[in-house]
């Protein structure tokens, strides 16, 4: 499966989710963000699994087309190259933090995804561990974009592991890792590829 993780807003968890999905699915991770967040993470990881490829935004669509499966981390901006990358995705995954600034920017992100004519799904990130996702899912329904019913919860462990070159998916038996495992299992049921 080729999953392109995108939101025109920064700080919503694109890199965190992309790296987690690359680990849980044992897929190559294409880092097309000039900030190279996943490349720095891979440097700390000290392992070739997953393979993390430093790729320019201008070339990522071509690289992705040639692969059977991959996870792509894009920059948090609507810049040239994003459209082409979205256009070759099996699914565009849009992390959404439920705060006003992210919600204000969301229609622009979803418009870019719509223009790519690829299946798109939102994924709630940083949801409070005890918050109910149902109400939020309902409030996002008018956007008319599918949403994964399993959210990624706010957990400090995501930040701690990241600084060590690890991710929650390296620990699927933990609460944080369990979120990722469930999301990956759900994605596989969606017949995107
Ligand atoms: N579910 C989460 N729980 C706690 N911290 C998170 C979570 N998701 C992301 N973060 C933290 O939020 C910050 C931004 O995440 P990042 O993945 O870099 O976002 P983006 O790639 O969209 O800019 C990072 O410090 C990251 O560790
Ligand atoms: Mg990032």
Ligand 1 pocket check for 154: Cβ under 6 Å: yes
Instruction: Kindly report the protein residue whose alpha carbon is nearest to atom 10 of ligand 1.
Output: 13
Tell me the domain boundaries of the chain: 2-189
The dihedrals phi and psi of 13, each to the nearest 5 degrees, come to 105, 20
Interval 39-90: pLDDT, tens: 999 999 989 999 999 999 999 999 999 999 999 999 999 898 999 999 999 9
Q: Model confidence at 155, in pLDDT bands (50, 70, 90)?
A: very high
User: Does 37 sit in the ligand 1 pocket, CB within 6 Å?
Assistant: yes
Predicted pLDDT at 165: 98
pLDDT at 193 over 90: no
Burial of residue 11, with CB atoms counted within 10 A of its CB: 0-12 exposed, 13-18 middle, 19 or more buried? middle
Instruction: Give me the sign of the Cα torsion angle 171, 176, 178, 184.
Output: negative
The ligand with the least distance to the CA atom of 31 is: 2
Ligand nearest to the CA of 16: 1
CA of 71 to the centre of ligand 2 (A): 13
User: Which of the following CATH numbers is that of domain 2-189: 3.40.50.300, 3.10.200.10, 3.30.70.890, 3.40.1190.10?
Assistant: 3.40.50.300
- Distance of CA 135 from the midpoint of ligand 1 (Å): 23
Cβ of 155 below 6 Å from ligand 1: yes
- Ligand 1 pocket check for 158: Cβ under 6 Å: yes
């Amino acid at each position: 499966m080729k999953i392109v993780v995108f939101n025109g807003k920064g700080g919503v968890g694109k890199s965190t989710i992309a790296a987690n999905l690359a680990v849980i699915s044992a897929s190559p991770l294409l880092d097309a963000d000039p900030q190279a967040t996943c490349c720095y993470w891979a440097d700390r990881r000290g392992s070739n699994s997953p393979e993390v490829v430093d790729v320019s935004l201008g070339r990522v669509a071509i690289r992705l087309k040639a692969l059977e499966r991959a996870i792509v981390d894009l920059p948090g901006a609507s810049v040239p190259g994003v459209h082409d990358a979205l256009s070759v995705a099996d699914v565009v995954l849009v992390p959404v933090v439920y705060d006003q600034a992210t919600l204000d920017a969301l229609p622009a992100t979803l418009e870019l995804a719509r223009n790519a004519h690829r299946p798109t799904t939102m994924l709630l990130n940083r949801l409070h561990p005890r918050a109910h996702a149902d109400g939020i899912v309902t409030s996002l329904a008018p956007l008319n974009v599918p949403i994964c019913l399993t959210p990624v919860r706010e957990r400090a462990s995501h930040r701690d592991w990241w600084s060590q070159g690890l991710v929650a998916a390296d620990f699927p038996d933990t609460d944080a890792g369990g979120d990722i495992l469930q999301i990956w299992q759900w994605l596989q049921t969606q017949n995107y590829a």
